[in-house]
Amino acid sequence: MGLQLHSEAFLHEDGVTYCIKRASLDQDFTIYEQRDGEWVDSGLDRAVKELNFGEFKRLGLLIKRIMDQDSWIA
């Protein structure tokens, strides 16, 4: 799909629907999960700040899967 602001919704095998999005093409993106119909930040920035490497790795791999599925070019 090329450069984009928002990925398609991605249903993970954990049963949670995720997406990645950013405000503009020159900004970094973050990963969101859907809760009660609303998109909620999944905590990537928090995982980095807290040095939670396990969560950072999990979210990073999930971001890669979403990008691969959407043919996202960063």
- Tell me the pLDDT band of 74, cut-offs 50, 70 and 90: very low
Where in the chain are the domains?
10-70
**Stated pTM of the model:** 0.77
SS (H, E, C) 21-71: ECCCCCCCCEEEEEECCEEEECCHHHHHHCCCHHHHHHHHHHHHHHHHHHC
pLDDT tens digits for range 21-47:
888 888 888 899 999 999 999 988 888
- Average pLDDT on 8-26 reads 89
Per-residue pLDDT at 58 exceeds 60: yes
Contacts 24+ apart (CB under 8 A), 38-42: 42/18
